[in-house]
Amino acid sequence: MNKTTLKRYARLIAQKGVNIKKGQEVVIRADLDQPEFITILTEECYKAGAGRVTVELSHQPITKLGLKYRTLKSLSRLDEWEVEKLRHRTETLPALIYIESEDPDGMRGINQEKVSKARQATYKITKHFSDEAEGKYQWCIAAVPGEKWAKKVFPGVRKSEAVKKLWDAILYTARADGDDPVKAWEEHNKDLHARCDYLNSLGIKKLVYKSANGTDFTVELMDRSRFLGGSEKTLGGTEYNPNIPSEEIFTSPLRGKAEGIVVSTRPLSWRGELIENFSITFKDGKAVDVKAEKNEELLRKMISMDEGACMLGECALVPYDSPIRNSEITFFNTLFDENACCHLALGEGFMECVDGYENMTLEECRALGVNDSMIHVDFMIGSPDLDITAITKDGGKVKIFEKGNWAF
CATH of the domain at 44: 3.40.1830.10
Q: Of 336, 317, 334, which Cα lies nearest the Cα of 326? A: 336
Q: Which amino acid is at 207?
A: L
Inter-residue contact 31 to 98 (CB < 8 Å): no
* Torsion 162-164-166-172 (CA) sign: negative
Q: Which whole number is the average pLDDT over 49-64?
A: 97
Residues 271 and 400 in one domain: yes
Residues 156 and 208 in one domain: no
Omega before 245 within 30 of 0, i.e. cis: yes
Residue 188 domain-assigned?
A: no
Residue 257 domain-assigned?
A: yes
Q: Which whole number is the average pLDDT over 70-74?
A: 97
State which residues form the domain around 350: 200-406
Residue 179 domain-assigned?
A: no
Residues 207 and 333 in one domain: yes
Residues 212 and 103 in one domain: no
* The pLDDT of residue 293 is above 90: yes
Question: How many structural domains comprise the chain?
Answer: 2
Computed over every residue of the chain, the mean pLDDT equals 96
Whole-prediction pTM value? Answer: 0.87
- pLDDT, one tens digit per residue, over 83-137 is 999 999 999 999 999 999 999 999 999 999 999 999 999 999 999 999 999 899 9
Helix pair 3-12, 181-201: axis angle to 10 deg:
30
Residues 227 and 81 in one domain: no
Residues 236 and 155 in one domain: no
Residues 227 and 370 in one domain: yes
- pLDDT, one tens digit per residue, over 346-379 is 999 999 999 999 999 999 999 999 999 999 999 9
Residues 214 and 308 in one domain: yes
Residues 102 and 206 in one domain: no
> What pLDDT band is residue 1 in, cutting at 50, 70 and 90?
confident
- pLDDT, one tens digit per residue, over 253-263 is 999 999 999 99
Residue 192 domain-assigned?
A: no
- pLDDT, one tens digit per residue, over 199-252 is 999 999 999 999 999 999 999 999 999 999 999 999 999 999 999 999 999 999
Residues 144 and 210 in one domain: no
Residues 149 and 268 in one domain: no
Across 211-329, the runs of DSSP E, i.e. the strands, are 216-221, 228-229, 232-233, 239-240, 249-251, 253-263, 268-270, 273-283, 286-294, 312-317
